[in-house]
Amino acid sequence: MTRPPGLRERKKLATRTALADAALRLCLERGVDGVTVEQVAHEAGVSLRTFFNYFSSKEEAVVAGDVATAEAFVRAFGERPADEPVLEALRRALVDILPEHVDRAKLEQLRLLRRTPTLLPAQLAAFHAQERALAGVVGERVGVDPAADLYPVMFAATVMASVRVVVTQWLDTGDQRPLADLVNVMIDQLDTGFRR
Amino acid sequence: MTRPPGLRERKKLATRTALADAALRLCLERGVDGVTVEQVAHEAGVSLRTFFNYFSSKEEAVVAGDVATAEAFVRAFGERPADEPVLEALRRALVDILPEHVDRAKLEQLRLLRRTPTLLPAQLAAFHAQERALAGVVGERVGVDPAADLYPVMFAATVMASVRVVVTQWLDTGDQRPLADLVNVMIDQLDTGFRR
DNA sequence: TGCAAAGTTGCAGTGTGTGCAGGTTTCTTC
DNA sequence: GAAGAAACCTGCACACACTGCAACTTTGCA
């Protein structure tokens, strides 16, 4: 079925990460607007043309990390035991994933990127891209068809949006609590509902 | 305080709507990729350069309608009586606003736009732009500071995301129920919470 | 009526993004 | 391990996107 990846696949992945890394690093150094795609491509050791074989824009390359985060989260959620309640699986998946993807070392980087308006649409799209997958996974977990019932799609959209604002809040307010604490507050909120 | 708008203001608004209308109409006719900014500007009777004084990209002009929808929603929500429970105010605001902004006549248009990947980031950004305002309004309503408590920001993000997916679901599945029914299901979900 | 502020426009110039064609590398098969 | 197929990389050409600037026109206000 899935055979071990050959040289070609490995090279492609290497190029892709080289491009994403170069884009992120250069943009952090000089600001997103101070970097051209050509410079990114050069830094990664490929031609301009090749850059566009991997990403359709500079922004997409810069937020490649966010895409990876979202994918990792959906995967982690999908791998939680099936008998675990949905919100508990959610909590575990987030606690497993977040520390690795948003730690205090990268804090300044994340703040800088979040302050760049150009990147916002791309960041939103990065998370949105995993909504359908998440809806599918959660639909399967609770035994419901995402096309017929609103629960899976609402769950997916709500969770993605909530994680986004919680992380944003944590970054912007310089909240001293561990991110995991905020995640717990968030999940309590999703559990309780929004009535007041 | 707010004096009646002069000629200058009215002209600006007219130009802006002319550009947005032209962008939307041309893109529906020929597809988003089949239209250049120059054509949009020409259609609206202004120069290319002037287009960019109003919008920073073709996509932004096309989704100007979505921005207006989101603004109208936040305004309607803010104008609900203060003693109304949050979710009831939400329901009323949506029922007031949605029929005018997403009716069956424009249905095909909306479907077409939603199928254009280029527009997705811009659409997401359009709704996201109102999240902060919504969080402020709801924070005031329930007497909570959005910077200190997660409720307002989570509410805002969740509601925006939920409305988005509910409308999407309605459009994509060709659901025969009135949109208002789905809105009620949505609000029940927000009321009950996501535990299963 | 006349000045100041704001808006429009053309122009020049840089950067983005895509189709195409030719060359190189990897994979497959025998 | 040699040959052909498939995938990939690259340069080139080109259309389009977007911005700063400076001149010009219109609107607001005294």
Q: What is the mean pLDDT of residues B118-128?
A: 97
Mean pLDDT (chain B, rounded): 95
User: SS3 for B140?
Assistant: helix
Q: How far apart are CA A138 and CA A141, in angstroms?
A: 5
- Spell out, as residue ranges, where chain A has pLDDT lower than 50: 1
CA A97 to chain centre: 10
Inform me whether the pLDDT recorded for B181 exceeds 60: yes
Q: What is the mean pLDDT of residues B55-80?
A: 97
Q: How far apart are CA B11 and CA B16, in angstroms?
A: 9
Which chain A residues are within 8 Å of B153, Cβ to Cβ? Answer: 165, 168-169
Q: State which amino acid sits at residue B129.
A: A
Residues of A with CB under 8 A from a CB of B: 85-87, 120-122, 124-125, 128, 131, 142, 147, 150-151, 153-158, 160-162, 164-166, 168-169, 173, 182, 185-186, 189-196
Q: What is the pLDDT of residue B57?
A: 98
Q: What is the pLDDT of residue B1?
A: 47
A8 touches strand C (CB under 7 A): yes
Q: Is B93 or A6 the better-scoring residue by pLDDT?
A: B93
Inform me whether the pLDDT recorded for B44 exceeds 90: yes
Residue B2's pLDDT band, with cuts at 50, 70 and 90, is: low
Inform me whether the pLDDT recorded for B42 exceeds 50: yes
Best of B84, B134, B150, B151 to disrupt the A interface (most A CBs within 10 Å) is B150
Q: What is the pLDDT of residue B116?
A: 92
pLDDT single digits (tens) B134-171: 999 999 999 999 999 999 999 999 999 999 999 999 99
Structure tokens at B40: 């949009």
Q: What is the pLDDT of residue B4?
A: 64
Contacts 24+ apart (CB under 8 A), A17-21: A18/A44, A18/A45, A18/A46, A19/A44, A19/A46, A19/A51, A19/A54, A19/A55, A19/A61, A20/A55, A20/A61, A20/A62, A20/A64, A20/A65
**Positive or negative: CA dihedral A162, A167, A171, A177:** positive
Q: What is the mean pLDDT of residues B10-38?
A: 97
Residue B98's pLDDT band, with cuts at 50, 70 and 90, is: very high
Q: What is the pLDDT of residue A163?
A: 98
Inform me whether the pLDDT recorded for B90 exceeds 90: yes
Residue B133's pLDDT band, with cuts at 50, 70 and 90, is: very high
Q: How far apart are CA A139 and CA A152, in angstroms?
A: 5
Which chain A residues are within 8 Å of B128, Cβ to Cβ? Answer: 120, 124
Helix axes A7-30, A64-78, angle to 10 degrees: 120
CB B127 within 8 A of CB B157: no
CB < 7 A contacts with chain D (nucleic strand): A 8, 11-12, 15, 46-50, 53; B 6-9, 11, 36-38, 48-49, 52, 56-58
**Strand C nucleotides with an atom less than 7 Å from a protein beta carbon:** 6-11, 15-20, 26-28
Tell me the nearest-neighbour CA distance from A157 into chain B, angstroms.
Answer: 6
pLDDT single digits (tens) A63-87: 999 999 999 999 999 999 999 999 9
Contacts 24+ apart (CB under 8 A), A102-105: A102/A69, A102/A167, A102/A179
Q: What is the pLDDT of residue A106?
A: 85
Q: What is the mean pLDDT of residues B27-46?
A: 97
